[in-house]
Amino acid sequence: MLEDSILYLSSDEVVLACEEVDPIAAVREALVLHATGQVQLPAEAYLGWEPDGGGLARTINMPGLLEGELPVVGTKIINASTSNPDRDLPRASGVVILFDSVTARPQCVMDASHISALRTAAVSVLASRELLAQGATDAAILGAGPLARHHAMLIAQRLPQVRTCRIFDVRLERATELCAALTEVIAPQRITFEVAGTAREAVRGAGLVIPCTTTRHGYVERSWLEAGCVAVNVSLDDLCEDVLLGADRLYVDDWALVACDEHRLLGRLARAGRVAGPHAVAASNGTRTVTGTLGELILGKCESRSAPQEVCVVNPFGMAIEDLSLAHRVYQVARMRSMGVHLPR
């Protein structure tokens, strides 16, 4: 019986279903519910190890619950190995599992790669729509992997004021291939994709900067950023300390997740007492305060850009509720279109 089965959606099926879903609407819903206290977002479970043959591997389990009109509950398990590209494998992979909100039984398992990348790009573009300075026409993407491609596609589709996007990768051929691929599917009259020779060349003059790399060491300095720039710190470690501390506005998605993280720069600055969370009383010792969360920004509950020359930094740690909101929409499309395979329990 179908009601006593678990629906499995492959990567191709997830991609197909996402064509009928608005990812920005999905993440916006999650961020608004988060800002209004209608979610449960436990701490992530992180396990890292060093596999035979070198590199670093990790698995992260990210459960979450969205209340709202129709409860959505589930978890994302996302794994990665830094040496996978050398094996011609994607660096990251995983699954999203949706649960029945009444019985708690698993009802759908779907490949997480496209969900994770698309919701990440959707958060970046949504934040950019809120903060991008008028007249900002140039974007820079650092890195040329799948996450960079998703960002470039969504920028082209949903940020019409951006007319040029420069892409840099430490492997120049990857940036060249990505620009060529993007130009094939997006009219050059809409947006021009250019290969940058260095990260600084890509960033110079850009009103929107989005690092999508795997680095663990900052290299984008405050002096690189144009006045009025929006920098979305997607990969969390590309921006140097002086960018996070010196930005005019600094936004996060969830302060507790950021502050508890032991691996990323903003979490380390928080534990060192150099950055305080939203609504904290400004200290006299130079501690900077986070301006607010993205949900608060969307709802007008925290300060937004107040001058065109302000540099705004978004540090989106990534919340499972965003993936679950998007995955639930994919599940609804799959059921409507009779997609996927029903697996017996």
Q: What is the DSSP string of 162-228?
A: --EEEEE-SSHHHHHHHHHHHHHHS-TTT-EEEE-SSHHHHHTT-SEEEE----SS--B-GGGSPTT
Q: Which H/E stretch holds residue 313?
A: strand 312-315
SS3 label, residue 107:
strand
Q: What is the DSSP string of 53-68?
A: TSS-EEEEEEEEEE-S
Round the average pLDDT of the chain to a whole number and report it: 94
Question: Closest by alpha carbon to 26, among 138, 146, 154?
Answer: 154
Residue 284 pLDDT:
55
Q: What is the DSSP string of 109-142?
A: EEE-HHHHHHHHHHHHHHHHHHHPPTT--EEEEE
CATH class of the region 131-318: alpha beta
Residue 343 pLDDT:
95
| Bridge pairing between strands 72-81 and 39-40 | unpaired
Please tell me the distance from the alpha carbon of residue 113 to that of residue 109, in angstroms, as a whole number. Answer: 12
User: Helix axis angle, 113-131 relative to 23-35, nearest 10°?
Assistant: 70
Residue 69 pLDDT:
82
- DSSP conformational letter for 86: G
The CA angle 43-44-49, to the nearest 5 degrees, is: 140
Could you state, in order of their start, the residue ranges of all structural domains in the chain?
Answer: 2-115+321-344, 131-318
Residue 156 pLDDT:
97
Residue 1 pLDDT:
44
User: Tens digit of pLDDT per residue, the chain (345 long)?
Assistant: 466 899 999 999 999 999 999 999 999 999 999 999 999 999 889 999 999 988 899 999 999 999 988 899 999 999 999 888 888 888 889 999 999 999 999 999 999 999 999 999 999 999 999 999 999 999 999 999 999 999 999 999 999 999 999 999 999 999 999 999 999 999 888 999 999 999 999 999 999 999 999 899 999 999 999 999 999 999 999 999 999 999 999 999 999 999 988 889 999 999 999 999 998 776 556 789 999 999 999 999 999 999 999 999 999 999 999 999 999 999 999 999 999 999 998
Rg, Å, the chain Cα set = 20
Q: Which H/E stretch holds residue 46?
A: strand 45-49
Question: Closest by alpha carbon to 234, among 159, 157, 139?
Answer: 139
| Bridge pairing between strands 288-289 and 275-276 | parallel
Give the predicted TM-score (pTM) of the model: 0.94
Query: Comparing 2-115+321-344 with 131-318, is the CATH topology the same?
Result: no
State the CATH architecture for 2-115+321-344: 2-Layer Sandwich (3.30)
CA atoms within 13 A on the CB side of 344: 1
Taking a C-beta distance cutoff of 8 angstroms, is the pair 154, 125 a contact? yes
Strand partners, 232: 314
Question: Closest by alpha carbon to 209, among 127, 290, 114, 142?
Answer: 142
